[in-house]
Structure 1
Amino acid sequence: MNLKLELFVLPVSDVDRTRAFYEKAGFRLDLAVDVSDDYRVVHLTPPGSEASIIFGKGLTTATPGSAQGLYLVVTDIEQARAELVGRGVEVSEVFHDGKGVFFHGHDAGDVVHNGQGQERIVGPHPERASYGSYATFSDPDGNGWVLQEVTQRAPGR
């Protein structure tokens, strides 16, 4: 049995502003339906992804901006960051976690100890190890995204 995660609901406050942000970031518009003043749906897919996001009005009771740690896996972190920045998206500098391989959070600065055993250091992972380099950005409501560089996966993946 395959269980494919293909859709994530984002809590947002302004549908049109959010749609413009994700389209500017290069997400493909799959569907936009205005059923009524109280029910709107926008469905977009990141470039190269099988998973999509959906947001709108009347879809969720979650607080706008409360979705955090949404990972977008890329094969070249510097190229992906440059493309987003070129599209007008504010993206952090590339960084790596000096004490592990799974970073979460949006702290800024050259070295940040986040109290959870993580150490954010500016620059890609020194060996460019898969799962080791990151950059972050947020949508207009503060929903937080993480770019993660993966160049080699475990066998069978």
Structure 2
Amino acid sequence: MDMKLEVVILPVADVDRAKVFYESLGWRLDADFQGADGFRVVQLTPPGSACSIIFGSGLTSSPPGTYDGLQLVVEDIEAARAELTGRGVDVSEVFHDAGGVFHHAGHESRAPGPAPDRQSYGSFASFSDPDGNEWYLQEITTRLPGR
């Protein structure tokens, strides 16, 4: 049976501020619905993604800004970083894991620059939304078999 991840619910403090931020990234606004008692659902989708994010009021009990490690896969890390910084986003410099596996929490084991030989899956850059939810760009140029 196929199981497809299609939505991630983000905890945010200010729905309108989050909506402006994600729209400024060039993400498609799919929905903005309001219900009774302040209930609100906003859905946006990154360009080329089959998975969307949802945030709003009354959706999650997670504290705003507590998500860390959300991944956005890109084909060219430098171009993606340049596009986001051109849109006013504070994006880290490109880095890779010093151990050559996967980025660690925080800034531990970050080595400057892309992965040696631009190894697919190995180069990263990070940014946060206005609430502090942490996103990572990950460069994938050649997928592993079966992916």
TM-score range, shorter chain: over 0.9
Aligned match of 2:117: 127
Q: Secondary structure at 2:132's aligned position in 1?
A: coil
Aligned match of 2:3: 3
Residues 31-80 of structure 1: CA deviation (Å, up to 9, x unaligned): 00121352011000011000000000000110000111000010100000
Mind listing any 5+ residue stretches in structure 1 that lack a counterpart?
Answer: 108-113
Question: Once the 2 structures are TM-superposed, how far is the Cα of residue 105 of structure 1 from its aligned partner?
Answer: 3.0
Quick one: which amino acid aligns to residue 11 of structure 1? P
Question: Once the 2 structures are TM-superposed, how far is the Cα of residue 128 of structure 1 from its aligned partner?
Answer: 0.2
Tell me, yes or no, if the aligned pair for 1:106 and 1:136 is still in contact at 8 Å: no
Runs of 4+ in 1 over 3 A off after TM superposition: none
Tell me, yes or no, if the aligned pair for 2:95 and 2:123 is still in contact at 8 Å: yes
TM-score (norm: length of structure 2): 0.96
Mind listing any 5+ residue stretches in structure 2 that lack a counterpart?
Answer: none
Instruction: Determine what percentage of the aligned residue pairs are the same residue.
Output: 63
Give the Cα–Cα distance (whole angstroms) in 2 for the partners of residues 95 and 25 of structure 1: 21
Aligned match of 1:52: 52
Q: CA RMSD in A?
A: 1.0
Give the Cα–Cα distance (whole angstroms) in 2 for the partners of residues 139 and 65 of structure 1: 8
Give the Cα–Cα distance (whole angstroms) in 2 for the partners of residues 106 and 77 of structure 1: 19
- Per residue, is there more helix in 1 or in 2? 2
Give the Cα–Cα distance (whole angstroms) in 1 for the partners of residues 24 and 141 of structure 2: 26
Equivalenced residues, count: 147
Question: Once the 2 structures are TM-superposed, how far is the Cα of residue 98 of structure 1 from its aligned partner?
Answer: 1.3
